[in-house]
Structure 1
Amino acid sequence: MAKFDKSDIERRMQGAVESLKGDLSGLRTGRANTSLLDPVMVDVYGSMMPLNQVATVSAPEPRMLSVQVWDKANVTAVEKGISKANLGLNPMQDGQTLRLPMPDLNEERRKELAKLAGKYGENAKIAIRNVRRDGMENLKEDEKKKDISEDERKRFEDDVQTLTDKYAAETDAAVEVKVKEIMTQ
């Protein structure tokens, strides 16, 4: 029985927006942001591990990231991991600390990042529309099984559409803020 659950639909749409915000926070602007290094994987102890499991990342200055590696033996591996992540950062070793100055973004790179932000936004909207489609299909099934009336189905469909519009607008707003940030740094 697929009984309609508005809170589940809202939770799934909210999840798509939260995922988008996480993706957007990883896009580099001219400012140092510790979440920039979240996707970095490091080859240590014979396996690939997220950077945050072998080091502490901080932003001591607006245009500098600092990576404090916990085990001195892993400093080179962390440096390679950051370089391989293709983030346009050049780590400078200082003992067990890696300093990552944030280079200025050129106009072409800004446009690429803005386009990528738009792509992330479109993917989030596709996820939201998929949740909408699932909700609408469940409502039609519920009506066929006589769990809800036609009037209830229409009212619930309006609710689902309202949620879809709300989260699509939230997605657009998040992308717009990020693009503005990228283009004005």
Structure 2
Amino acid sequence: MEDEIDFIMDSTREAMSDALKHLEKELANIRAGKASPSMVGSVMVDYYGSPTPLSQVANVNTPDGMTISIQPWEKSMIPAIERGIHLANIGFNPMNNGESVIISVPPLTEERRRDLAKQAKAASEEAKIGVRNDRKNANNDLKGLEISEDLKKGLEDDIQEMTDTHIKKIDEMFAAKEKEIMTV
């Protein structure tokens, strides 16, 4: 019985931590003014018929704060990389010089900053939903166990405390990202 309780608590803690890690990745993909290779991290390129992450077909770097340079390992991949950037719908207009693909990152307008803040808010809300679902699953798993009501209540309180802690971290991550986005 003790093993089952430990398993439920550990798997719930792990699932909630995974929600935080996922949110961290989501927020990293939302740009906040300065160019970074992670801005094109979600771009998939058609590499000989199969979708492949951009990082596996090219070197991505930022020569300065407003430019992303993508150096493909095969020059024939340049049109596919440009197409992938357009399809990813990340708001960039790629240009090529025959050797590499260059993206000029425009400065953010106030309206675009608000849109990005809304994106960050939506991502944090999704993470909160995930954490609450993990709490619900753990509580349902506890109901299936034949343990005393006092122990069950104590474990539910522990799970709620874990939930509150993770939701507080999500709010802190969102606040930091929103500040980063809205800072001109």
* TM-score, length basis structure 1: 0.92
3-state secondary structure, aligned to 1:3 = helix
CA offsets, 1:90-148, max 9 Å, x none? Answer: 22213332221210111111111111111111110000000000111111211xxx2x2
- Cross-structure match for 2:80: 77
Would you say 1:45 and 2:48 are equivalent positions?
yes
Kept in 2: contact 1:34–1:58 (CA 8 A): yes
Would you say 1:3 and 2:4 are equivalent positions?
yes
- Cross-structure match for 2:183: 184
CA offsets, 1:6-52, max 9 Å, x none? Answer: 11111000001110111111112211121111111112212222111
Q: What code does the residue aligned with 1:161 have?
A: Q
- Cross-structure match for 1:19: 22
- Cross-structure match for 1:168: 167
Q: Matched residues, percent identical?
A: 41
Unaligned runs of 5+ in 1: none
* TM-score, length basis structure 2: 0.92
Distance in 1 of aligned mates of 2:176 and 2:129: 20
- Cross-structure match for 2:119: 116
Q: Work out the number of aligned pairs and report it.
A: 181
Give the C-alpha shift of residue 3 in structure 1.
2.3
Distance in 1 of aligned mates of 2:84 and 2:90: 11
Distance in 2 of aligned mates of 1:126 and 1:34: 29
1:139 corresponds to which of 139, 142, 152: 142
CA offsets, 1:43-80, max 9 Å, x none? Answer: 22122221111111112212221111011111111012
Distance in 1 of aligned mates of 2:170 and 2:136: 18
Superposition CA RMSD, Å: 1.6
Kept in 2: contact 1:70–1:96 (CA 8 A): no
Give the C-alpha shift of residue 184 in structure 1.
0.9
Kept in 2: contact 1:56–1:68 (CA 8 A): yes
Moved over 6 A (4+): none
